[in-house]
Structure 1
Amino acid sequence: MTQKTQTRSGGRSARRAARATALPDHLRPVRPGLEGGTYKPLTPAEMDRIHGAALQALEEIGLADAPPSGVGYLTAAGAEQGADGRIRFPRALVEDAIARANRRIVLCGRDPAHDLDLSGHRVHYGTAGAAVHLVDALGRNYRESTLQDLHDAARITNVLDNIHFLQRPMVARDITDNCEMDLNTVYATTSGTTKHIGTSFYDPAHVKPAIDMLHMIAGGEDRWRERPFMSNSNCFVVPPMKFATESCLVMEECIRYGMPVLLLSAGMAGATAPSTVAGAIVQAVAECLAGLVYVQAVKPDHPAIFGTWPFGLDLRTGAMTGGSGEQALLTAGCAQMHKYYDLPGGAAAGIADAKLPDMQAGWEQMCSNVMAGLSGLNMVYEAAGMHASLLGFCHESLILGDDLIGQALRCVRGIEVSDETMALDQMREVCIGGPGHYLGTSQTLGRMQADHVYPALGDRTSPKEWDEKGKPDLIERATARKEEILANRSAARFDPALDARLREAFRIYLPA
């Protein structure tokens, strides 16, 4: 009896010591860039049919409303403008663009430790959405989002291991001038995180001053062009099959200044895209292929992410269904098409239609996040924090999303089968003359951190322990974690001299 007590006590001590020891990145149970691609809802023949239908749509239907500059770029590349003004794309032109596309995209962070390699089936999760409200989880209400809220989201993202990038999740509704809003969005996000950032621009004229700011932050134009740590999320189309004129001009400006672009097609199945999952994917693929031709016509080899983002729709009410099974299938099917072309791609997952971080939000966010990861989606946008079908963003939900995505990434990592993991030697040692259990064995302790993901806030205690601890509430714990993070100064803040120069050159709304 004494011997057993000592063994079990030693096991507990060893487990505590193991938990306190940080693993090197290559041994962590989950990390950015794990390889997905095991889930394949489309067969090879079905992908061939979707590709053929997309080519046919581009050749026969084409896209309307290209700006004059876009018409010039596209027709010079071999597209044809009809009498109806629509730009049509010969099959050979599209196939040539696919063949010549940039497949070596690395999205840089200000800190190189956060660089994202988009090759193969490597999976990365992050934010997005441009919500107009902040969700007050404890107060159970919504208010308009502010620049401070956006900056705080960036600061929180910077410390969460499983949120790999920050695309602008909220709009700064307290800044009425659109140019100043765009510039302050750049400042608030870059001073909040050193991870890669995505942003949008309201007007093409806003790109140049934003680039001037980014040059200052990077330490010069050369350094910016060498490592652009911000990309442009560009809704270059207005589905169905029309170019968004102003956004196309923004895209041309971003390409000129070396900023990577996300070619974002966001049709709504049943409204601005066909209601079927396959039809919505065909249209999104066609529109993004047109965008790929456009980018290459402006600048060959420019980094462009294939951003098929079709959304689901509740046909009973016309409401968006970002948390539905159909949304999960749309995203997974799009991820498969990205790899069909061997192109770096992104799509939306993790959206909750639920208004608060509750049980509905949990099932909605986990369903599409897991399927996106298993399908090998390179960039999983809107993966954490998004509520009310993209209308609200919640800081507590962002923090809880870090736990949720950790579990999703563990699913992506999958099951490793080797002599060590099949554990026959360990079974023999435990069962024949051993303790009859695996608790505290050297093998269990040796792999407890490498094999298992432990939630930071998720509660795994027994009902008795939970009661003894005062029945801790998950949202209250997330709020406490938020306040703990925001009580510290931003680790991404600028050097005071640089910050002073930025404030002299631009009207910055955040307090110094």
Structure 2
Amino acid sequence: MNDQTKTPARATRSGGRAARRAARAAPLAENLRAIRPGMEGGTLKPLTEQDMERIHQSALDALEQIGLADAPQSGIDYLVGAGCILGDDGRIRFPRALVEETIAKANRSVTLFSRDGKTDLNLSGNRVHYGTAGAAVHMVDVQGRNYRESTVQDLHDAARISDRLDNIHFLQRPMVCRDIPDNREMDLNSIYATTAGTTKHVGVSFTEPDFVDDALEMLHMIAGGEDKWRERPFVSNSNCFVVPPMKFATESCEVMEKCIAGGMPVLLLSAGMAGATAPSTIAGAIMQACAECLAGLVYVNAVKPGAPAIFGTWPFGLDLRTGAMSVGSGEQALLTAGCAQMHKFYDIPGGAAAGASDSKLPDMQAGWEQMCTAVMAGLSGLNMVYEAAGMHASLLGFCHESLILGDDLIGQALRCVRGIEVNDETLALDQIRATCIGGPGHYLGTDQTLSRMQSDYVYPGLGDRTSPKEWEELQKPDLLKKASARKEQILGERSQARFDPETDAALRARFNIHLPA
């Protein structure tokens, strides 16, 4: 063979390698990615079938014998009309048959719509989605290592950052706009700040029932009309409809009624604290949360049968030595995983809290706490994992850098959720034979290895896997500094979620928008 025949052969091989490298570097189709929103969990089952049945029967006992107090008059009318019993003590009790009937006819699948139609969330079965929540009152300043009050700009920035993070699937308001003292303006500006920052689904709360009408008007304007809003409601109401133990939150219930009438999905949120406003035992706290959310489910379906509702059992752990919340504890992980199992027991879309930390900064404590609860929530098949990134100080502080780092952490959690596929291809017997008998004796560079680099493995965006030598050569990069740089990069670019100029001008003419134009 002469040189003229050798050269083209080398070029062909080189071109083939270059093409393969380019193919591996190109983004994979959504269905071929190693992880994606809505992956099926459910392999972790800390409760047995008998455990779940006992929790359910005890919840029915609590509803039938104890009931809930403090419903608004409108709620009393709805619930009594549905078959509940108003006692002389003012408590509403729920007959077992009514609760069972409501469970049977409740909405089994809820879609939380995005504004652009690209990131809709299908809440059914064991599909897992991670996102923010928490309503913190402080921002964590990682450079100064201190806390300050959160602002509407901070909320907008959190939305903009979340919009760019693949593993943050939704944005529920993670902080309160402390720079807006008027509650009506705070609620309306929270909607504006979040929806102008991300096209992903957004969750918000309302302080008073009278604010809901203005909020719906704003949402109709953003959607392009009430009909378009009702067709694809891209904002849901996070509603603390109960004050544990076993009392309705009167004004929140009135808010809920208005949101249901306005076509807005509702998160029925019961957030008892084990040892304070819920029993100290994990089983007891789960049972009370289930009882309260079952009451909420009856309420929602009495207002509008089949209305989209998320079964939001959110019991929190408590450090019984001090009375402080312990959102990053093993007990919290079990509370959330057990709640996820109960959602599947009822076959109702559900959500709970996981991924928050008691640590004040994004440090090692935060890492172990966030991963412990986040991965167990995913493995248990929790549909909506709230507070999954950015939350610190037992929900008192939110951190933009931690939100960005949480994207990496959730990526690894989702890989755990995906689990292990066992089939002829993944068992790789033929590959082992070819490698060991007459082959190179290793699997580096084989077609099988290269073909699965992206579809099987999740790589951190900011996490460091270099050797100590490489780390030194790279000037010893710091994880928090890398997260801060990523934050500045995102916020330095124009948001893709911004409203068109005409819509934005109309919103600013109608409402007192605090963010600069």
TM-score (norm 2): 0.96
Residue 241 of structure 2: aligned partner: 236
What's the CA shift for 1:18?
Answer: 4.5
> Relative to structure 1, is the Cα distance of residues 413 and 122 closer, same or farther in structure 2, using a 3 angstrom cutoff?
same
Residue 95 of structure 2: aligned partner: 90
The one-letter amino acid of 2:208's match is D
Distance, in Å, in 2 between the alignment partners of 1:433 and 1:47 is 55
The one-letter amino acid of 1:183's match is L
1:283 aligned to 2:288? yes
What's the CA shift for 1:19?
Answer: 4.5
Distance, in Å, in 1 between the alignment partners of 2:312 and 2:476 is 43
The one-letter amino acid of 1:337's match is M
**Superposed counterparts of 1:400-419, under 5 Å:** 400-419=405-424
The one-letter amino acid of 1:224's match is W
> Relative to structure 1, is the Cα distance of residues 67 and 151 closer, same or farther in structure 2, using a 3 angstrom cutoff?
same
Residue 297 of structure 2: aligned partner: 292
What's the CA shift for 1:440?
Answer: 1.0
SS at match of 2:311: strand
Check the 8 A contact 2:109/2:348 in 1, yes or no.
no
Runs of 4+, deviation exceeding 4 Å: 8-16
Distance, in Å, in 1 between the alignment partners of 2:17 and 2:461 is 19
1:210 aligned to 2:215? yes
SS at match of 1:69: helix
SS at match of 1:222: helix
Check the 8 A contact 1:79/1:87 in 2, yes or no.
yes
Check the 8 A contact 1:18/1:445 in 2, yes or no.
no
**Superposed counterparts of 1:301-340, under 5 Å:** 301-340=306-345
What's the CA shift for 1:10?
Answer: 9.7
Q: Which segments of 5 or more consecutive residues in structure 1 lack a partner in the other structure? A: 1-5
Residue 179 of structure 2: aligned partner: 174
**Superposed counterparts of 1:188-227, under 5 Å:** 188-227=193-232
Distance, in Å, in 1 between the alignment partners of 2:242 and 2:424 is 52
The one-letter amino acid of 2:73's match is P
Measured against aligned partners, the alpha-carbon deviations of 1:405-449 in whole angstroms (never above 9, x if no partner) come to: 000000000000111111111111211121111111111111100
**Superposed counterparts of 1:436-451, under 5 Å:** 436-451=441-456
Check the 8 A contact 1:254/1:261 in 2, yes or no.
yes
Distance, in Å, in 1 between the alignment partners of 2:17 and 2:148 is 47
Cα RMSD for the two superposed structures: 1.6
Distance, in Å, in 1 between the alignment partners of 2:325 and 2:238 is 21
1:137 aligned to 2:136? no
Distance, in Å, in 2 between the alignment partners of 1:342 and 1:444 is 39
Residue 49 of structure 2: aligned partner: 44
1:502 aligned to 2:485? no
Residue 261 of structure 2: aligned partner: 256
Distance, in Å, in 2 between the alignment partners of 1:438 and 1:195 is 40
Distance, in Å, in 2 between the alignment partners of 1:19 and 1:137 is 36
Distance, in Å, in 2 between the alignment partners of 1:26 and 1:448 is 15
The one-letter amino acid of 1:199's match is V
> Relative to structure 1, is the Cα distance of residues 59 and 91 closer, same or farther in structure 2, using a 3 angstrom cutoff?
same
SS at match of 1:231: strand
SS at match of 1:126: strand
- The one of 140, 144, 153 equivalent to 1:148 is 153
Residue 372 of structure 1: aligned partner: 377
What's the CA shift for 1:113?
Answer: 1.3
The one-letter amino acid of 1:430's match is T
What's the CA shift for 1:17?
Answer: 3.0
The one-letter amino acid of 2:450's match is L
Check the 8 A contact 1:11/1:441 in 2, yes or no.
no
Residue 271 of structure 2: aligned partner: 266
What's the CA shift for 1:11?
Answer: 11
Distance, in Å, in 1 between the alignment partners of 2:142 and 2:334 is 29
SS at match of 1:114: coil
Residue 86 of structure 2: aligned partner: 81
What's the CA shift for 1:322?
Answer: 0.0
What's the CA shift for 1:324?
Answer: 0.1
The one-letter amino acid of 1:24's match is A
Q: Give aligned-pair identity as a percent.
A: 78
Distance, in Å, in 2 between the alignment partners of 1:424 and 1:15 is 24
Residue 60 of structure 1: aligned partner: 65
Residue 459 of structure 2: aligned partner: 454
Check the 8 A contact 2:157/2:491 in 1, yes or no.
yes
Distance, in Å, in 1 between the alignment partners of 2:96 and 2:113 is 33
SS at match of 1:72: helix
- The one of 110, 117, 122 equivalent to 2:122 is 117
- The one of 110, 128, 131 equivalent to 2:133 is 128
Distance, in Å, in 2 between the alignment partners of 1:353 and 1:217 is 37
Residue 8 of structure 2: aligned partner: none
Residue 3 of structure 2: aligned partner: none
Measured against aligned partners, the alpha-carbon deviations of 1:327-360 in whole angstroms (never above 9, x if no partner) come to: 0000000000000000000000001000000000
SS at match of 1:286: helix
1:24 aligned to 2:8? no
- The one of 132, 156, 163 equivalent to 1:158 is 163
What's the CA shift for 1:453?
Answer: 0.1
SS at match of 1:451: coil
SS at match of 1:437: coil
The one-letter amino acid of 1:174's match is D
1:381 aligned to 2:389? no
Check the 8 A contact 1:374/1:411 in 2, yes or no.
yes
The one-letter amino acid of 1:181's match is M
The one-letter amino acid of 1:202's match is T
Measured against aligned partners, the alpha-carbon deviations of 1:92-140 in whole angstroms (never above 9, x if no partner) come to: 0100110110112100000211000001100000000000001011211
- The one of 429, 446, 466 equivalent to 2:471 is 466
Distance, in Å, in 2 between the alignment partners of 1:152 and 1:174 is 15
Number of aligned pairs?
508
TM-score (norm 1): 0.97
Residue 3 of structure 1: aligned partner: none
SS at match of 1:142: strand
Residue 420 of structure 1: aligned partner: 425
> Relative to structure 1, is the Cα distance of residues 11 and 452 closer, same or farther in structure 2, using a 3 angstrom cutoff?
farther
The one-letter amino acid of 1:45's match is Q
Measured against aligned partners, the alpha-carbon deviations of 1:290-344 in whole angstroms (never above 9, x if no partner) come to: 0000001111110000000000000000000000000000000000000000000
